[in-house]
Structure 1
Amino acid sequence: MSQVLVRDVRKAYGALEIIHGVNIDIADGEFVVLVGPSGCGKSTLLRMIAGLESITGGKILIGDKVVNNVPPSDRDIAMVFQSYALYPHMKVKDNMAFSLKLKKTDPAVVEERVKSAANILGLTPYLDRYPRQLSGGQRQRVAMGRAIVRNPQVFLFDEPLSNLDAKLRVQMRTEIKELHQRLKTTTVYVTHDQVEAMTMADRIVVLQDGNVEQVGAPLDLYDNPANLFVATFIGSPSMNLIKGKAKIINGEVFVDAGGTLLPAGTKHQVAEGQDVTYGIRPEHIELAEDGFEAKVGVIEPTGSETMVFVHAGGNDLLVLFRERHTFTTGQTIKLKPRKDAAHIFDTATGKRI
């Protein structure tokens, strides 16, 4: 196992630079998720760590060794792709053993590692089957097993669950996390699904347009987003955003949104009249007699919670209730955001105040 250090790494295709001086420190044994929308550069960055893409500038270290010019086969990494990339003519055990056989590893060692990986992944009954005889989840386990047998310093996962159905994705992300807890191998995982990132990561790296927007533990990013992009990207459902102007009354900060005063407590350093964006997560808006009026639109009950889309003062908001309420479309209700959970962003820069 080893740390992975990304130092001012850049990637350009001709005059077009798509990775702009990225710096990330991944500790030995840590599970780090690179997350962001399509085209943000997360897979390109992962492929540079793997050696499948050249580096235009900066350097990458695995352990204490700079690997910029080291071929993938000599980096002591193992990669699991979105596509399973299994050999259809080989049985499961041969797919898992293939990389070791190429290195002319002792057959006894190969057999021992394949059996150990199969036991960890629950693949022992399927070792003599071909990939076509397996389900999607089983094939993904085989791909993971092929990585495990190499006993690498670093695991790299490139959106490995994208081809699975929703229920199986939930199961597989739990299994991958359990696998990491068992093996303690440094892991870099790429996904566009922020729920995967939140549930699996020790730390999350949020990327946009080839830049790192924020790095932190999942709940740190959820509770303290650095800017509007992170605030809206992390969290499902997304944070409500309301534009307005800062107003200070008796030392308390409010946001004047078209005549409605939204409470924000005393922790924000803003100037009177400053253009700001008020952020509040759906679960932090409550029913209150002294709240603002909102008209109920669409109601989405999920069983454990109810999502209610409302229209208030020219803004469309989403409110999440854990209790069950008998709202009707068109009904007027009164809502109040929790001031201790409010966020204020500078509208001009997008940065959290």
Structure 2
Amino acid sequence: MVDRPETLRYPSMRGGGGSGPSRGGIGRHMAEVAIRSLRKNYGAVEVIHGIDLEIARGEFVVLVGPSGCGKSTLLRMIAGLEEVTAGDILIGDRRVNHLSPNERDIAMVFQSYALYPHKTVRANMGFSLKLRRMDKGEIDRRVNEAAEILGLTPYLDRYPRALSGGQRQRVAMGRAIVRDPQVFLFDEPLSNLDAKLRVQMRTEIRELHQRLKTTTVYVTHDQIEAMTMADKIVVLNGGHVEQVGSPLDLYDRPKNTFVASFIGSPAMNIIDGTVQGIGASGARIDLGHGTVVDAPAPPGLTEGARVKLGVRPEHMRAGETGLPIRVRVVEPTGSETHVVCQFQDREVTAIFRERVAFRPGDAATLALDTESLHIFDGASGMRLGA
């Protein structure tokens, strides 16, 4: 027996969620998504551990995290492709836990294009509307409008085999757009494309969102995609939410060492240390073997405490005092140079925007930008002074 949709009396979110048909063109209606104490078990194994998340109307939210963190499972639960063990999912003002995917007013774009090879682009894009027995004139209007948005008009009578990978992905997106859903769901849609096309397509997806304003939930393991596309990033780890915020919030003020290490490429350098002293101008952090650096002194920092010092690669420079390192690898990219170094028993990476003359094997000292350092608790890894 399938439950009928319910309206739950949760506190209202921004805007109202409508679920009726659009008026006046594609992308005219959208809904907020609310996830409440959501859990997912496979047998005795719990993989999603009580997640709470609010996604505003028209927001572009990226779920990001390492393989196995639960991001695709969470997306599939929103889509109705995975059952909910406990908790609630609301789309607009409807509780959708027990609704089938086609009753949720969502459209999903998968990693694989999943196009019908024997159907033209036009037929692929309009197929779901045909199954709904929609009027042919309305199907043609929606397909033509989506094709114009995606630059597919010249290819409407071609078959998928005659298209490039990027064009096939646009057709998959067009098939979602014509449904005019309240929510778009993207499950790593760019992972099958080459590096150059990935960059192009992520720009096109972002521009598409800016045009349609449809609420979007996007899954990727690529934190560069997350940083460049999202209004809001949700960092997942082991079925838990580590942090939610804008890309720059997460980059500038990571909640813990996991987020600090995951967001940013190259990753933040994390170095163990001990607070040697605290004064009016800040703290002195002993990094071992005679290396002591100046750092901010956030509230709660105490002398003798074990800490983890975080420094972004771009906040290091050649200097006379700082970290004594030996250069291992020099990676020129054109606009900047990445220098991978050995500091004591760990690897650190520095980024130089000017041309540098480092060679593998060189000994040097890297000065740290004191005001840009991050201090984390040595045991928990949580940011101090957050």
Tell me the TM-score normalized by structure 1.
Answer: 0.98
Equivalence map 1:43-82=2 (5 Å):
43-82=72-111
Amino acid paired to 1:341: S
Q: 1: distance between equivalents of 2:293 and 2:103?
A: 57
1:186 aligns with 2:204: no
Which residue does 1:148 correspond to in 2? 177
Q: 1: distance between equivalents of 2:161 and 2:275?
A: 61
Preserved contact between residue 59 and residue 66 of structure 1 (Cα < 8 Å) = yes
Which residue does 2:287 correspond to in 1? 257
Q: 2: distance between equivalents of 1:221 and 1:140?
A: 30
Which residue does 1:326 correspond to in 2? 357
- Residue 287 of structure 1: how far off its partner (Å): 1.8
Which residue does 1:128 correspond to in 2? 157
Question: Judging changes above 3 Å, is the alpha-carbon distance between structure 1 residues 160 and 281 closer, same or farther for their aligned structure 2 residues?
Answer: same
- Residue 268 of structure 1: how far off its partner (Å): 4.8
1:255-279 CA distances to partner (integer Å, 9 max, x unpaired)?
2111211221233531111111111
Q: 2: distance between equivalents of 1:198 and 1:330?
A: 34
Which residue does 2:191 correspond to in 1? 162
Amino acid paired to 2:379: A
Preserved contact between residue 316 and residue 367 of structure 2 (Cα < 8 Å) = yes
- Residue 334 of structure 1: how far off its partner (Å): 2.0
Preserved contact between residue 263 and residue 338 of structure 1 (Cα < 8 Å) = no
Q: 2: distance between equivalents of 1:53 and 1:2?
A: 21
Preserved contact between residue 246 and residue 255 of structure 1 (Cα < 8 Å) = yes
Question: Judging changes above 3 Å, is the alpha-carbon distance between structure 1 residues 3 and 307 closer, same or farther for their aligned structure 2 residues?
Answer: same
Preserved contact between residue 79 and residue 155 of structure 1 (Cα < 8 Å) = yes
Preserved contact between residue 34 and residue 42 of structure 1 (Cα < 8 Å) = yes
- Residue 71 of structure 1: how far off its partner (Å): 1.1
Preserved contact between residue 292 and residue 322 of structure 2 (Cα < 8 Å) = no
1:115 aligns with 2:148: no
Q: Secondary structure at the match of 1:323?
A: coil
Which residue does 2:326 correspond to in 1? 295
1:237 aligns with 2:281: no
Q: Secondary structure at the match of 2:260?
A: helix
Amino acid paired to 1:282: P
Preserved contact between residue 125 and residue 178 of structure 2 (Cα < 8 Å) = yes
Q: 2: distance between equivalents of 1:345 and 1:320?
A: 22
Aligned length: 353
User: Percent of counterpart pairs with the same letter?
Assistant: 64
Which residue does 1:315 correspond to in 2? 346
1:45-72 CA distances to partner (integer Å, 9 max, x unpaired)?
0011011111000000000110011111
Amino acid paired to 1:196: E
Which residue does 2:380 correspond to in 1? 349
Give me the CA root mean square deviation.
1.0
Q: 2: distance between equivalents of 1:312 and 1:268?
A: 28
1:174 aligns with 2:203: yes
Q: Secondary structure at the match of 1:8?
A: strand
Q: Secondary structure at the match of 2:380?
A: coil
1:290-333 CA distances to partner (integer Å, 9 max, x unpaired)?
33422222111111000111223333211110000111222222
Amino acid paired to 1:247: Q
Preserved contact between residue 298 and residue 375 of structure 2 (Cα < 8 Å) = no
Amino acid paired to 1:305: E
Q: Secondary structure at the match of 2:218?
A: strand
Q: 2: distance between equivalents of 1:290 and 1:73?
A: 62
Q: Secondary structure at the match of 1:298?
A: strand
Amino acid paired to 1:254: R
Q: Secondary structure at the match of 2:48?
A: strand
Q: 2: distance between equivalents of 1:345 and 1:265?
A: 11
- Residue 239 of structure 1: how far off its partner (Å): 0.6
Q: Unaligned regions of 5+ residues in structure 1, if any?
A: none
- Residue 335 of structure 1: how far off its partner (Å): 1.5
- Residue 210 of structure 1: how far off its partner (Å): 0.4
1:133-154 CA distances to partner (integer Å, 9 max, x unpaired)?
1111000000000000000000
1:13 aligns with 2:70: no
Tell me the TM-score normalized by structure 2.
Answer: 0.90
